[in-house]
Chain A
Amino acid sequence: MAADEDLVGHLANGDDTALRELLRRYERPLSAFIYRHTAGRDVEDLYQETWLRVVRQAARFDRTRRFSTWLFQIAVNLCRDWHRRPPPEPHPIADGTAAPHELGRVESALDAAALLSSLPEAQREVVILRYYHDLPEDQVALILDCPKGTVKSRLHNALARLAAVVRAENR
């Protein structure tokens, strides 16, 4: 079975078989990542845009790197850009800046997806990559282009927030 990095080489030559194989390998983790990052909005556009960038930049891909890291870096950047766009209509949960007095209202409707949406972007990315994709902290740091210590502190802050929500729900 060809390695991901070799398939990217074929992809740079316009080989659609290589793209099919990469899609098969990464369609679930990538779509799930985007879904959780954007709370299920514009998943199709972002998913397609991610692969479009993969195809366009395949010739410049450094084969000493892991393809999965590169793929998720592209997806992270696209999702960040997406969050910077003005939303088409107000979304009470997704902006992650709920004031403390609003927290109770938000928490009353919380499920895991809403909680993820309410986390600051940096924490959300760390939680998704570390817990939902089971990536080691080293790789999460590589994808997010930040030190491992930052990943740890973001995880801590996200867990603390999650714990607060869980405790509040139990009351």
Chain B
Amino acid sequence: MTAGEERGRAVGLSQLAEHVAECDMCRAEPLPLEQCAAFLSSSAVRVDVTALSQDTLRRLQPELARRARAVLWHRVTLGVLAALLPLPAVLAYDAYLLRLLYGLASAVLPAAFATYLVVTYAAFLVLLFGSTYAAIPLLVARSITPHHANQG
């Protein structure tokens, strides 16, 4: 037997006998079971399975990459949509907080300094929101990749 040739799985007598035992027609006309089993077992498969699988893997890489991209984008879209849902409420609450902060600050500080404080805080909030939404794709990608990393 060469590397690329595999003898057929030995077809056991018991497998054929099992069928004959249940088959009225086969029982009526006795079959040369031993010879039949030997005959079927002589079938050889000449395939280099390793090369076959490697070629298959190579051929399917673009399809796998396409699927991985599609899944990533699907999850990113869902993640961003889910994160956008509470955004109006969060913005409204922040606007309320900023107004409150400006009222308190302007009561004890000069108006220009109070404005500076509130604008700085507002800029910090914008930066925080921006970073949060920018992190969504990264988090989604990370949630997909551990399986690759663990098994690689």
A131 — which chain B residues lie within 8 A by C-beta? 11, 15-16, 40
Stretch of B61-69, B85-93, B128-136 contacting A (4+ beta carbons < 8 Å): B61-69
User: Which B residues from 121 to 152 make CB contacts under 8 A with A?
Assistant: 144, 147-148, 151-152
The residues in A between 131 and 162 inclusive whose CB is less than 8 angstroms from any CB of B are 131-134, 152, 155-156, 159-160, 162
A16 contact from B20, B32, B61, Cβ within 8 A: B61
Partner of B8, one of A13, A32, A115: A32
Task: Give the size of the chain B interface in residues (CB under 8 angstroms).
Answer: 50
Q: Of residues 43 to 101 in B, which have CB atoms within 8 Å of A's CB atoms?
A: 43-47, 49-50, 52-53, 55-57, 59-61, 63-71
* Contact (A19, B43) CB under 8 Å given A131-B15, A163-B32, A170-B35: no
Residue from the list A51, A127, A134 in contact with B60, Cβ < 8 A = A51
Identify A32's interface contact among B11, B29, B39, B45, CB under 8 A. B45
Query: Is A10 interfacial (CB 8 A cutoff)?
Result: yes
Chain A residues near B50: list those with CB within 8 A. 27
Could you tell me the distance between the alpha carbons of A133 and B19 in the complex, rounded to whole angstroms?
A: 15
Q: Is the pair A152, B67 in contact by a Cβ cutoff of 8 Å?
A: no
B40 contacts A112, C-beta separation under 8 Å: yes
The reply to whether B46 and A47 form a contact with Cβ atoms under 8 Å apart is no
B66 lies within 8 A of A47 (CB):
no
For chain A, what secondary structure do more than half of its interface residues adopt (helix, strand, loop), or is it mixed? helix
Asked if B59 and A134 make an inter-chain contact with CB atoms under 8 angstroms apart, the answer reads: no
- Contact across chains for B26 and A14 when beta carbons are under 8 A apart: no
Within the complex, the shortest CB–CB distance from B70 to chain A, in Å, comes to 8
Name the contact of B31 in the complex, choosing from A43, A48, A134, A163 (C-beta under 8 A). Answer: A163
Q: Please report the C-alpha to C-alpha distance between residue A156 and residue B29 in the assembled complex, in whole angstroms.
A: 11
Is the Cβ of B63 less than 8 Å from the Cβ of A55?
yes
CB distance B52 to A31 under 8 Å?
yes
Which B residues are in CB contact (< 8 Å) with A27?
49-50, 52-53
Closest 3 CB pairs of A and B: A14-B68, A14-B67, A112-B43
Q: Please list the residues of chain A having a beta carbon within 8 angstroms of any beta carbon in chain B.
A: 10, 12-21, 23-24, 27-28, 31-32, 35-36, 40, 43-44, 47-48, 51-52, 55-56, 111-113, 115-116, 127, 130-134, 152, 155-156, 159-160, 162-163, 165-167, 170
A-B contact pairs, 6 of them (CB 8 A): A13-B68, A15-B68, A16-B64, A112-B43, A152-B22, A155-B19
